[in-house]
Structure 1
């Protein structure tokens, strides 16, 4: 049995104010918020969510403004996204919440929102594609997929998707990471599509996709099980254009902060 639940990740242009944690902006589309969202409805934040995010804010030393969003899912678990910004640092804290049991996840996820902020503001090329967050149910196992825009000067630009399992005890376990799209310094654009455990790889040529190979991912153990490359010139970047070790990349993604 497979069920896909799609949600979105939302960033606020400028983050010019601090929102009280006791109120949450409700979003149910897959678009970025590029303005002070005064039109979307709000609701009271569950006490359990407030308590956990208060702990997060106490651990952050820099001055910050915050915005809290609830991203509506179609199951018992909603996703809360706390965007924290000091003008330079932009971090997003993701916290699933079981609204029937009134329990938050035992740990949160933090991603770097700097390069995806305000719809990749400052980049002539856009690599992010919606949805930026989604959940997927495969064989009664619930997974959450989070896209993170990464950047290292002109040498490497990409979107890395991190795949977490949400256990029945509400533990968040990182299972594996993969590079969904990359743009090399030579202008080569590689696009990858994950279908269950199969990662299909394409080269973008004049806005047409040419198949170059595929990989089978062992999602339980976070490793590449097998691969097939049909273009000898691109085999070295079949899984990642980052130049990083594949074993390290699939375990933790790309962590260089430019």
Structure 2
């Protein structure tokens, strides 16, 4: 048990107990209740438990192939939950999808596609207005505010493909913010991102959570999880822990999660795992 009363698990055979939100936490944006996710008959992720209250940030940590992206897809309703349940904003993932934002890795999009930065961000509004209706003044204002939130208002008319990888990632975050999500999912948003863009992404996410949006981030960056996230979910096909960074990013739990890999203390006391 952690110092604040949360429980962390030690092995996949004994999944983590449901983590309780802190005093004063908002309503749950996401509840994972013994959720097992499968592709066909093959389980990809088993018996995941935890909850993400409104306005909190959770990091999904684990080696490649651990099931982090699979869990994000399940929260989006794109992969079936074969046992247990996933509840998003009090609904099934499919019913809640309109209220959930998603930020993929920037390199999943064609940088040569002839579209401006402003047009990419405005695409986020179609989740609200539908694809038939034309964006109005309110939609354009929301897109402009989202682009400003990531520090790229001055690049609005530039072609998306001319931006650096970090800048493109910031634009994709702005697109998600423009849709005013209540839950935001990010898949490895800091991969290959320079320090300036990382700081801009973190600042924008901090502003977003301050308004009550819950955030789930898949990342390999343990230092970032320690610095910027309220809770950490350690995954490797099973769940090894769910709770605050101080209780979960320990040598013992990281060694178990990464299959016995070496761990060491970083320069600032942050635990670093080496797969």
TM-score when normalising by structure 1: 0.25
What TM-score results when the alignment is normalised by the length of structure 2?
Answer: 0.24
Q: Pick the structure with more strand per residue.
A: 1
Greater relative contact order, per chain length (Cα 8 Å cut-off, separation 6+)? 2
